[in-house]
A and B are shown apart, each in its own frame.
Chain A
């Protein structure tokens, strides 16, 4: 039960922060694809960076057992196709699943429409699962991350992603300024 309460509190806090950050407003999200406002990129990458550094150091300091954290498995081709579909939906709706919930909760009808689209997609996927299943389970690589893929230590992988993120933030700010 603690998990459900924690998830509810974290979910509400996440939704509140998204709303306050203006991420429930589709034009702001769509602006990312036109390279005029890269807030989404910066928010997502800074969340990733915070979680990655936090998890790595909590594990190193013995405050958390990272091996107990579930890691989703990689299926290369199905996830590439899924990613492209997700991107297309994101571009069309101007919202992703989390932000569409926030948009709907704050009374925006496009958010409601996006949620309806998501539910329709879920229903279509589940109905066609028998047909899709072989592809869905193809090109399985197991629960691997960058370090395992590139044959490097976990710490070096963390350092590389940190460098990528900081480089990305710097580039994003420059792009925004040049487009302003």
Chain B
């Protein structure tokens, strides 16, 4: 009888301790805000492409778009998952998780969801699938490109061919806005329209 009481007390202490240990959210909200402000949560399409190409172990790429959108086109190696399913899923703690959606909203929301749950090394593809299409799948080089732009294009074109993409050289400058290669300029809506018309 005495042993049973000791075991019961031990279980109660460990059980109450479990509730106390999880009282604080696993991520500090102010710390998350700093990370978001510093844009430490972003990854560029070119960096992601290079990491997928290198066969980085434990790199998870999650596509948050609809199943139909995923089926029609997705980043190689990505897995389709909805926000609700992601919220209920247990991801491995180690490795890197990259999230993308159509633009970036759902991916950013999923980023917060995962970070609040205590997952580290989570990144968002800033402009979503559009960034992948415009920077990796169909990188463009303006007809009047500078030497620096040509160097960047050569790197992207090589990556593009690896993923079965089609680099486009000699396009009008209007399709390659300033900052295109630095990622400072987002893939504009007209640009995306053109991409869609090309059959992506």
Interface residues of A (CB under 8 A from B): 49, 53, 56-57, 60, 65-68, 71, 141-144, 148, 153-156, 158-159, 161-163, 165-166, 169
Contacts and interface: CB of A to CB of B under 8 A. Distances in A.
A143 B22 contact: no
Interface string B1-14: 00000001001101
A52 to B, nearest CB: 9
A46 to B, nearest CB: 8
B158 to A, nearest CB: 36
A6 to B, nearest CB: 21
Contact of A155 (B11, B20, B89, B92): B20
Interface centre among B11, B15, B22, B23 (most CB of A within 10 A): B15
B51 interface: no
Interface of B: 8, 11-12, 14-23, 85, 87-94
A166 B10 CA distance: 11
Nearest to A59: B93
A148 B89 CA distance: 9
Nearest to A149: B88
Given A68-B92, A162-B11, A142 B23 contact: no
Given A158-B15, A166-B11, 18 more contacts: A49-B11, A53-B11, A57-B14, A57-B18, A60-B18, A65-B93, A67-B91, A68-B92, A141-B88, A142-B89, A143-B90, A154-B22, A156-B18, A158-B19, A159-B18, A162-B14, A163-B15, A166-B12
Contacts of B17: 57
A144 B88 contact: yes
Contact of A162 (B12, B22, B90): B12
Given A67-B92, A142-B88, A143-B90, A155 B18 contact: yes
A123 to B, nearest CB: 34
A100 B85 CA distance: 38
28 contacts: A53-B18, A56-B14, A57-B14, A57-B18, A60-B18, A60-B21, A65-B92, A65-B93, A68-B92, A68-B93, A142-B85, A142-B88, A143-B90, A144-B88, A148-B87, A148-B88, A153-B19, A154-B22, A155-B19, A155-B20, A159-B15, A159-B16, A159-B19, A162-B12, A162-B16, A163-B12, A165-B11, A166-B11
B8 to A, nearest CB: 6
B93 A67 contact: yes
Contacts of A66: 90
Given A60-B21, A71-B90, A153-B22, A169 B15 contact: no
A143 B90 CA distance: 8
Nearest to B21: A155
B92 to A, nearest CB: 5
Contacts of B18: 53, 56-57, 60, 154-156, 158-159, 162
A56 B15 CA distance: 10
